[in-house]
Amino acid sequence: MELKTHHLSKFYTKEKAAVADVNLVLQEGIHALLGANGSGKTTLMRMLCGILKPSEGIVTFNAKNIMENYEEYILHLGYLPQNAGFYMNFTVIEFLQYIAVLKCLEADYAKRKIDELLELLHLKEQSKKKLRQLSGGMLQRVGIAQSLLNHPKLLILDEPSSGLDPKERIALRQLLSRLAKDTIVILSTHIVSDIENIADDILLMKEGHILFQKTVTDTLQELKGHVYELLTAENEREIIEKNYTVVNCKRVSEGILFRLLSDDMKDKRSIVVEPTLDDVYLSYFHEEAEYVETNLL
Ligand SMILES: Nc1ncnc2c1ncn2[C@@H]1O[C@H](COP(=O)(O)OP(=O)(O)OP(=O)(O)O)[C@@H](O)[C@H]1O
């Protein structure tokens, strides 16, 4: 299976492309679309689903233009939108039955699949509750369940871990890893830990452009030798913040322990440390992000 974009662009306004000339080739596996707010992830995903018309370019699935074969394409597609519009008066089970009808699923299959998904997404106890009675994390799991109803070959999830607690995030990662053997999974996030251990490749998106498509190992390799820890006195804080990109900063009894990015580290007190995806993210989005100071005192 192969999903491809060919010079895909979207202009909401004439001045700036929300998605700019994106050329991707995606096969089975987990593809993590990583980018700051507003970088174009949702716009790209909506075009991949065929629900937003590109300004330029096309999307093909197994070499067929998705818009020319849309009825066939959606049979293979599962989609979790970012702000799923739910019918809040439906119970969980009614909602899933309703989506199964919209997806034209055969009744016996739908019944079995709904049971399986309620179990898989830990929603059995909530199955007779109305959607408006559910927490944000439970609703998100209902959204994930509906995206899986038709056993999609292509699964597009916009911020799937949003609202999930740590245990459910882990369960979701395990579920996606299992599915990815024979499914093209594309998920968007700005939470690095959600993808660090499961993504086959990372698509880094900034201001509408895909800056790279690489494995996690290759992505980390790029920053090797550029990430440092540096223990300083409290009064050096300003100069450090001026000279380096600060990933993290921790108050310890001896002073302040900084984690820093630098292409030109001259401070002899620094030690090189192994890069993480958080470092990579910060190296591309340090203008957008604010580091968190942790206080151990
Ligand atoms: N319907 C729209 N009309 C005009 N501009 C839009 C529209 N939807 C998105 N945009 C703009 O397009 C750009 C990309 O937005 P998009 O929602 O695709 O980004 P994103 O990476 O998904 O962001 P987030 O992480 O906040 O969901 C932003 O500048 C946004 O303001």
pLDDT tens-digit map of 182-204: 999 999 988 888 888 899 999 99
pLDDT at 20: 97
pLDDT at 85: 75
- Are the CB atoms for 130 and 89 separated by under 8 Å? yes
Task: Work out the end-to-end distance of the chain between its first and last CA atoms, rounded to an integer number of angstroms.
Answer: 53
Alpha-carbon gap, residue 129 to 123, rounded angstroms: 10
Of all protein residues, the one whose alpha carbon is nearest to atom 7 of ligand 1 is: 12
pLDDT at 288: 65
Q: Report long-range pairs for 47-52 (Cβ below 8 Å, ≥24 apart).
A: 47/5, 47/8, 47/10, 47/19, 48/3, 48/5, 48/156, 48/186, 49/77, 49/79, 49/156, 50/74, 50/77, 51/79, 52/10
pLDDT at 295: 46
Find out whether the beta carbon of 37 lies less than 6 Å from any atom of ligand 1: yes
Find out whether the beta carbon of 152 lies less than 6 Å from any atom of ligand 1: no
H/E stretch holding 279 reads helix 277-285
Q: Strand locations in the chain, DSSP E?
A: 3-11, 17-22, 25-26, 29-34, 56-61, 64-65, 77-80, 154-158, 184-189, 201-206, 209-214, 227-232, 245-252, 255-261, 271-272, 292-295
- Are the CB atoms for 248 and 292 separated by under 8 Å? yes
pLDDT at 83: 78
Distance 53 CA to ligand 1 centre (A): 14
- The residues, ordered by sequence, that sit 6+ positions from 138 with a Cβ below 8 Å of its Cβ are 123, 126
* CA-to-CA dists, residue 12 to 164, 201, 264, angstroms: 31, 28, 40
Tokens of 138: 């439970």
Tokens of 219: 């992505």
Tokens of 188: 């968007």
Q: Which residue type is seen at 224?
A: K
Q: Is the dihedral of CA 149, 151, 153, 155 positive or negative?
A: positive
Find out whether the beta carbon of 219 lies less than 6 Å from any atom of ligand 1: no
Tokens of 179: 């599915």
Residue with tokens 């959600």: 194
Look at the domain 2-220 and name its fold. Rossmann fold (3.40.50)
Which residues, given as ranges, of the chain have pLDDT below 70?
Answer: 287-297
Distance 71 CA to ligand 1 centre (A): 27
Find out whether the beta carbon of 40 lies less than 6 Å from any atom of ligand 1: yes
Neighbours of 106 (CB within 10 A): 10
pLDDT at 249: 93
pLDDT at 191: 82
**Ligand 1 atom nearest residue 36's Cα:** 25
Alpha-carbon gap, residue 163 to 175, rounded angstroms: 17
- Are the CB atoms for 2 and 66 separated by under 8 Å? no
Give the ipTM of the model, two decimals please. Answer: 0.97
* CA-to-CA dists, residue 8 to 23, 53, 164, 204, 220, angstroms: 7, 10, 32, 16, 27
